[in-house]
């Protein structure tokens, strides 16, 4: 178990005092014992020396009475003087204080030479210890005898014991007092430390509303008699004004603690309110949490604003169709918007911190790096159009790379902005194609017009000659071939003229089912012979549409013929009509079970002279003419190959093609819409 | 770590306690007792110096001389120390003092009372064959300028039997018309021993106005007090100096040996000087009883019983 601060103080104090007590007990008692023994020794020496001096005369005079009186007086001096006696120069006792004879052994127990002032021996009588002192009686350098004195060691021991016990008790009392004093000191300290500890824990848990500083008897506004309620220190009973910024005292120095504390030290508020180190710690902690709270709040607000702005910026950047990226001077990506992520097919986090080598093929990355280095070196922006191959296929991009500088003018990196211009490129190509087609159409129309008349003449003369020759003759057969081929040519020419000249239409209300039936009745027999069946799903009661019946028939014939040509072997052509109430248009669809159209070709099927049929089988004008006719009727034509519903139904070997013609009832559909939706369902 | 430190401290403490300088006790049996009986030596010739000073001074002054006599005569001469003048006198009478070295006044007493015979007398260190007494007072005592001023004063004398310290000054006062009754108080030094010094110290202390001492005493106490604080008011006339006397019954052979030995002492000889100097004797000359008649006359004049 870990000891608390208070326990440590107690333990430390107790150990220290105990140690001190033991040391004092032993050292002091030892010193005192030595001192007592020394004192006793000196006392014995003093008594003995005096006695020896006083004994000189009686010894000289052999005045036994005076000698006896002196030794008796000496013994009566103190309880601890056990005996005194005088030996003559021959070591024989002259006088002594013993009753009942002189102890024989005592004579030899101690001796002193002439050159020494005294001699001390510790004697053990079995009952008690005696310090025996021997002093020479010397008169004029002649030895006349010896004075012997016996001091009881027991008495000294008693004194030593009393001393030991009094030291022991004193130490004990000091320890007890020290514990009380220590408690009185430690309790407030530990209480305040505990408050600080709790407050710091609270602060760690996020609660910065801690009040660690103690309440004062008089606060700064009371000491200064100030009524400045707008002062940040006013009313803050747990805060000290010298920690607060912007206090309004006239003596206060502006600024934070570091700036103002030197002047605050001399202020009477500080001198009256400043406490000990722990109070100062508590007060500074309180102020620190307050300051932290304020700064944290400001930081949170700033962070929030920053986050919002960042989010806004990100939204703007992500929302923009252009891709934007920022690289540092080492071409490491620092930021990328959503479009850029889509372009490279990776998430933002996968891009940031990477280089072009991580995102693009090596050759491409090297090229980009070279460009980047060039821009960073020259500081000039770069604008270019580039065709790149990504995960989503090939794309045309319009790219701008601009060097970015920091506030101090130092180059920060490279901002790259780009735009997908694939569609623009495609439209440009289509426009060029259309212009080319228009030129061809004009050329073709001119040629067709010029050819049409001679072809009529050739046909006329061929028919005239047929009337003149016999039908069995070779000439007749040849003329028939001429007539037939001329007619074919004439039809081609007629188609060309229809495509290019856009002949005037004769618009009238018509029933589309009837028009379709006219077409089907013509071709049905022929198709049957080739095992291609026609299925009609014509919705009855269709509203009448306004249109050129002949042109529409031509359009349907083209579609049905194309469907027939697409079927190899046995097959089925389904013709259906349907009225869409919401769109207010009639939808005519032709569905075949043929080989379908490859995706790469489906974009071009409506181009003139584009055909998938073998040479001689098609002119490549059928769908172009059909497209033109439907456009003329403000309708639109869609193609799905294979039809979407077959994909949705997950039919195996799904193939075939569906052409759907939308003809408006009113005949006034928005032309833009028609242009935009040319075909759907390209796989 | 803490435990080791504590253990080390405790061990040091106990060791230091163990290192006490207490010596081992010597076993002794006090139960074995004996009665103390001292046997006196036989054939001892006792030599006593009149205790005008303390015994130790007496010893210091005469033990070399006694030692010399012992060697010179081959006799077992031993210095003894009577406590008082009277005891000295009585011990001569009792035959316990064989050779008495005393002042002339004591001599005439032992001569008169016990038949002691003077055989030598000394020459003072100042080469005087006689000596005198001195009347002293404190140097700052302005009330005493001469003998007449001593009237009505408190007087401390050495001893009623002292020559230089009482008898001679008394004769001197007598000659100036002062008798014992003219003093407010006459006291004698408390005994035993050191009586001359005690007079000086009593005057020095201011307990008595005047004191009477043998000339030469001030030098003896010069190591105890500042003798400049003491003023000599007057000196008495000269009288014969200290005298060696033998008890009445001392064998003439012994006396002769001793006398010859004493007279043999020559201050000019280094060895003898070392013996005589402590005794403050510059020489010993033959003498007989007649030399002390002036003293007897003085005693008679003063009405003293001998």
ipTM of the complex: 0.71
Percentage with pLDDT > 90 across chain B: 55
Say which residue the tokens 């002189």 belong to.
Answer: A102
User: What average pLDDT score do residues A220-227 get?
Assistant: 85
More confident: A629 or B21: A629
Task: HSE, CB side, 13 Å, CA atoms: give it for residue B14.
Answer: 5
- What local confidence, expressed as pLDDT, does residue B6 receive? 61
Q: Where are the domains of chain B?
A: 45-129+240-293, 133-237
What six digits make up the tokens of A288? 């620190």
User: C-alpha angle with apex B183: B182 to B184, nearest 5 degrees?
Assistant: 125
Q: Is the pLDDT at A316 greater than 50, yes or no?
A: yes
The strand pairing partners of A317, in sequence order, are none
* Phi-psi group of A541: left, alpha or beta (phi > 0 → left; psi -120 to 50 → alpha; rest → beta): left
pLDDT in tens, A37-88: 888 888 889 999 999 888 888 888 888 888 999 999 999 988 889 999 999 8
Instruction: Specify the range with the lowest mean pLDDT, choosing from A65-79, A337-351, A399-413, A640-654.
Output: A640-654
Secondary structure letter of residue A5 according to DSSP: H
Closest-CA residue of B relative to A85 is B36
Closest-CA residue of A relative to B31 is A103
Q: Is the pLDDT at A649 greater than 60, yes or no?
A: no
- Give the C-alpha separation, B112 to B107, whole Å: 8
Contacts of B33 in chain A (CB under 8 A): 98, 100-104
Q: Please indicate whether, in this complex, the C-beta atoms of B81 and A60 are within 8 angstroms of each other.
A: yes
Closest-CA residue of B relative to A137 is B56
- Alpha carbon of B4: minimum distance to chain A alpha carbons (Å): 13
User: A interface mutation test: which of B16, B19, B36, B192 has the most A CBs within 10 A?
Assistant: B36
- What local confidence, expressed as pLDDT, does residue A669 receive? 47
pLDDT in tens, A560-591: 888 888 888 888 999 999 998 888 899 999 99
Residue A484: other Cβ atoms inside 10 A = 12
pLDDT in tens, B201-228: 999 999 999 999 988 888 888 888 998 9
Task: HSE, CB side, 13 Å, CA atoms: give it for residue A25.
Answer: 22
Percentage with pLDDT > 70 across chain A: 93
What is the CATH T-level fold of the domain B45-129+240-293, as seen in this structure? Answer: D-Maltodextrin-Binding Protein; domain 2 (3.40.190)
pLDDT in tens, A293-302: 888 888 889 9
- What local confidence, expressed as pLDDT, does residue A683 receive? 29
Q: Is the pLDDT at B10 greater than 70, yes or no?
A: no
- Give the C-alpha separation, A660 to A638, whole Å: 5
The strand pairing partners of A151, in sequence order, are A81, A131
pLDDT in tens, A224-261: 888 888 888 888 887 888 888 888 887 777 777 777 88
- Give the C-alpha separation, A664 to B234, whole Å: 182
Secondary structure letter of residue B163 according to DSSP: I
Q: Which CATH architecture has domain B133-237?
A: 3-Layer(aba) Sandwich (3.40)
A-side interface with B, Cβ within 8 Å? 19, 22-23, 26-27, 30, 33-34, 37, 56-57, 60-63, 88, 92-96, 98, 100-106, 109, 121-126, 129-130, 139-140, 142
Average pLDDT, chain A: 83
- What local confidence, expressed as pLDDT, does residue B5 receive? 63
What six digits make up the tokens of B215? 């000339």
Contacts of B70 in chain A (CB under 8 A): none
Beta-carbon contacts of residue B23 (< 8 Å; ≥ 6 apart): A121, A122
Question: How deeply is B1 buried, as exposed, middle or buried, from its count of CB atoms within 10 A (0-12, 13-18, 19+)?
Answer: exposed
- Give the C-alpha separation, A397 to A391, whole Å: 14
Q: For chains A and B, count residue pairs whose Cβ atoms are closer than 8 Å.
A: 108
What six digits make up the tokens of A645? 């519903």
User: What average pLDDT score do residues A250-279 get?
Assistant: 81
User: What average pLDDT score do residues A601-609 get?
Assistant: 78
Q: Do residues A412 and A406 lie in contact, with contact meaning Cβ atoms separated by under 8 Å?
A: yes
- What local confidence, expressed as pLDDT, does residue A518 receive? 87
- Alpha carbon of B16: minimum distance to chain A alpha carbons (Å): 9
- Alpha carbon of B238: minimum distance to chain A alpha carbons (Å): 32
Beta-strand pair B117-123/B45-49 = unpaired
What is the tally of helices (H) and strands (E) in chain A? 20, 18
Closest-CA residue of B relative to A26 is B13
Same fold, B45-129+240-293 and B133-237: yes
């Amino acid at each position: 178990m870990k000891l608390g601060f208070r326990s440590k103080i107690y333990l430390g104090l107790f150990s220290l005092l105990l140690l001190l007590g033991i040391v004092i007990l032993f050292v002091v008692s030892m010193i005192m014992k030595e001192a007592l023994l020394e004192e006793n020794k000196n006392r014995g020496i003093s008594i003995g020396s005096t006695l020896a001096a006083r004994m000189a005369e009686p010894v000289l005079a052999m005045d036994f009475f005076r000698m006896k009186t002196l030794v008796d007086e000496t013994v009566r001096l103190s309880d601890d003087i056990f005996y005194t006696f005088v030996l003559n120069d021959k070591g024989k006792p002259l006088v002594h204080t013993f009753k009942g004879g002189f102890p024989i052994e005592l004579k030899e127990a101690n001796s002193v030479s002439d050159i020494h002032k005294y001699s001390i021996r510790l004697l053990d009588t079995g009952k008690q210890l005696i310090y025996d002192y021997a002093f020479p009686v010397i008169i004029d350098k002649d030895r006349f005898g010896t004075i012997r004195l016996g001091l009881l060691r027991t008495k000294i021991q008693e004194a030593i014991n009393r001393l030991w016990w009094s030291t022991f008790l004193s130490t004990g009392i000091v320890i007890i007092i020290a514990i009380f004093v220590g408690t009185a000191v430690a309790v407030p300290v530990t209480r305040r430390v505990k408050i600080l500890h709790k407050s710091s824990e609270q602060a760690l848990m996020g609660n910065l509303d801690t009040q660690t500083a103690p309440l004062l008897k008089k606060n700064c506004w009371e000491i200064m008699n100030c009524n400045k309620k707008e002062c940040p220190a006013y009313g803050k009973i747990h805060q000290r004004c010298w920690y607060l910024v912007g206090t309004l005292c006239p003596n206060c120095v502006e600024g934070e603690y570091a700036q103002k504390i030197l002047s605050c030290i001399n202020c009477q508020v500080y001198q009256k309110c400043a406490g000990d180190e722990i109070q100062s710690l508590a007060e500074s902690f309180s102020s620190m949490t307050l300051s932290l709270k304020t700064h944290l709040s400001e930081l949170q607000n700033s962070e929030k604003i920053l986050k919002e702005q960042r989010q806004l910026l990100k939204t703007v950047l992500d929302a923009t169709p252009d891709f934007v990226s920022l690289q540092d001077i080492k071409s490491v990506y620092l930021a990328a918007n959503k479009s850029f992520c889509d372009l490279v097919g990776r998430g933002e986090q996968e891009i940031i911190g990477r280089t072009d080598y991580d995102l693009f093929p090596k050759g491409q990355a090297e090229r980009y790096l070279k460009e980047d280095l060039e821009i960073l070196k020259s500081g000039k922006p770069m604008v270019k159009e580039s065709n790149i191959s990504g995960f989503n296929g090939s794309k045309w991009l319009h790219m701008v790379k601009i060097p970015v500088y920091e506030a101090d003018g130092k180059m920060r990196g490279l901002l790259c902005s780009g735009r997908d211009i694939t569609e623009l490129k495609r439209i440009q190509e289509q426009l060029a194609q259309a212009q080319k087609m228009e030129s061809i159409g004009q050329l073709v129309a001119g040629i067709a017009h010029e050819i049409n008349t001679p072809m009529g003449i050739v046909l006329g003369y061929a028919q005239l000659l047929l009337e003149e020759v016999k039908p069995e003759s070779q000439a007749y057969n040849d003329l028939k071939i001429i007539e037939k081929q001329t007619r074919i040519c004439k039809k081609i020419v007629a188609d060309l003229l229809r495509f290019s000249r856009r002949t005037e239409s004769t618009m009238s209300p018509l029933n589309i089912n009837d028009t379709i039936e006219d077409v089907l009745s013509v071709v049905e027999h022929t198709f049957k012979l080739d095992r291609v069946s026609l299925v009609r799903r014509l919705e009855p009661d269709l509203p009448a549409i306004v249109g050129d019946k002949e042109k529409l028939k031509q359009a349907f014939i083209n579609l049905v013929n194309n469907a027939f040509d697409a079927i190899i072997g046995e097959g089925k052509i389904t013709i259906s009509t349907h009225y869409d109430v919401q769109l207010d248009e009639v939808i005519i669809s032709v569905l075949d079970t043929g080989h379908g159209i490859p995706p790469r070709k489906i974009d071009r099927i409506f181009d003139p002279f584009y055909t998938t049929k073998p040479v001689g089988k098609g002119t490549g004008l059928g769908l172009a003419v059909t497209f033109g006719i439907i456009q003329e009727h403000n309708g639109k034509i869609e193609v799905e190959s294979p039809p979407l519903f077959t994909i949705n139904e997950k039919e195996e070997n799904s193939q075939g093609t569906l052409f759907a013609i939308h003809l408006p009832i009113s005949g006034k559909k928005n032309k833009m819409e028609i242009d935009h939706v040319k075909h759907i369902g390209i796989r | 770590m803490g435990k080791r430190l504590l253990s080390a401290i405790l061990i040091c403490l106990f060791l230091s306690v163990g290192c006490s300088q207490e010596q081992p006790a010597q076993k002794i049996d006090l139960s074995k007792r004996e009665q103390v009986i001292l046997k006196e030596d036989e054939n001892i010739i006792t030599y006593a110096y009149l205790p005008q000073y303390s015994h130790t001074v007496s010893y210091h002054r005469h033990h070399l001389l006694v030692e010399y006599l012992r060697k010179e005569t081959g006799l077992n001469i031993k210095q003894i120390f009577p406590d008082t003048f009277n005891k000295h006198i009585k011990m001569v009478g009792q035959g316990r003092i064989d050779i008495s070295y005393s002042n002339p006044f004591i001599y005439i007493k032992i001569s008169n009372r016990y038949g002691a015979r003077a055989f030598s007398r000394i020459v003072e260190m100042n080469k005087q064959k006689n000596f005198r007494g001195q009347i002293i007072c404190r140097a700052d005592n302005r009330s005493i300028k001469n003998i007449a001023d001593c009237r009505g004063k408190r007087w401390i004398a050495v001893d009623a039997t002292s020559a230089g310290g009482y008898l001679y000054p008394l004769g001197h006062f007598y000659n100036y018309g002062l008798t014992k009754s003219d003093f407010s108080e006459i006291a004698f030094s408390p005994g035993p021993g050191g009586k001359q010094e005690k007079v000086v110290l009593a005057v020095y202390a201011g307990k008595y106005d005047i004191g009477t001492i043998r000339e030469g005493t001030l030098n003896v106490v010069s190591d105890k007090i500042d003798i400049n604080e003491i003023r000599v008011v007057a000196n008495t006339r000269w009288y014969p100096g200290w005298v060696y006397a033998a008890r009445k019954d001392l064998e003439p052979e012994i006396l002769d040996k001793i006398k010859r030995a004493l007279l043999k002492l020559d201050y000019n000889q280094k060895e003898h000087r070392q013996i005589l100097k402590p005794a403050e004797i510059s020489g010993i000359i033959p003498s007989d009883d007649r030399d002390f008649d002036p003293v007897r006359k003085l005693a008679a004049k003063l009405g003293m019983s001998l």
